[in-house]
Amino acid sequence: MLNGVKLFNIVIEMASKDRILRLKEETRINILNASLQIVKEEGWQALSMRKIADVIEYTAPIIYEYFSNKDAIILELTRKGYLILARDLQDAKGKHRLPAKQLEAMWLAYWNFAFANKELYQVMFGVTTSCSSCEMVNTLPEAEKPWDLFSAVIGDLMGIDDMESDVICTKYYTFWSIVHGLISINILSRGNSDEINRQVLKDAIGGLIRSITG
C-alpha cells in the first residue's frame, strides 16, 4: 500500500506531466495559428521560421523543437485543411436523405470551404503555391477523406457498391474538375460575381447529377 506522502507525490508528478503536455500542445497550436496568420496577411511565400518566431515572441530554435522546417508546418496545415473539409462535407451530407441532394449539398460545401479557407485550399491543391512538401500531400491519409465521402454518395446514386469502380472515379473527377476549376479561376481573381459563380456552380452540379440519374 502506498502511504499518503508517496501517493501525493505521484499525483503531483502526474499533474505536472499533464501540464507540460498541455503547454506543448498549446505552443504547437500557436505556431500553426501564427503561420496561418502570416500567410493570410502576406501570402505563402512570406512564411519563414524566423517570422513565425517573431509573431509568437519565441526564439527560432524553439520552433524547430516542434517542426523540423517550414515544409513540416505547411504539411500540418494541409492536414488540418483536409480535416476541416471532411467535417464540412459530412455535415452537408447529414442534412439530406436522398443521394442527389447530398451530392449537391456536399459540392456547395466544398465551394464554401474553398473561399472560407482560401489559404488552406491553395496549399491543399497547389493553387498559386509551390513548395517541396506539396508533393507529400498525397501521402496524407486525411487527403483521402473527401474522395471517400464523395465516392460513397456517388455509388449510392448510381447503385454501385464497389468504391474503386472506374465509373465512380470518372464521375468524381468530372465533378471535381468543374468545381475546382471554377474555384481556381476565382482565387486568381479572374472570375465573375459571387451570384453568377454560384449559379454556374449549381447549373454544372445539377447537370452532372441529372446525367447520372436520367
- Which domains does the chain carry? 1-67 (1.10.10.60), 71-214 (1.10.357.10)
Mean pLDDT of 61-70: 90
Is the pLDDT at 174 greater than 90? The verdict is yes
What does residue 69 show for φ and ψ, rounded to 5 degrees? Answer: -165, 180
What are the tens digits of pLDDT across the range 86-109? Answer: 999 999 999 999 999 999 999 999
**DSSP 8-state class, residue 127:** S
The pLDDT-based confidence of 171 (bands split at 50, 70, 90) is very high
Which residue type is seen at 15? Answer: A
d(CA 145, CA 120): 16
pTM for this structure?
0.84
The pLDDT-based confidence of 8 (bands split at 50, 70, 90) is very low
Q: Hey, is 162 helix, strand or coil?
A: coil
Q: Percentage helix, strand, coil, to 5, in the chain?
A: 80, 0, 20
pLDDT value for 206: 92
pLDDT value for 190: 59
Mean pLDDT of 159-177: 91
d(CA 113, CA 50): 30
**DSSP 8-state class, residue 58:** -
Is the pLDDT at 85 greater than 60? The verdict is yes
The answer to whether 103 and 151 are in contact (CB under 8 A) is no
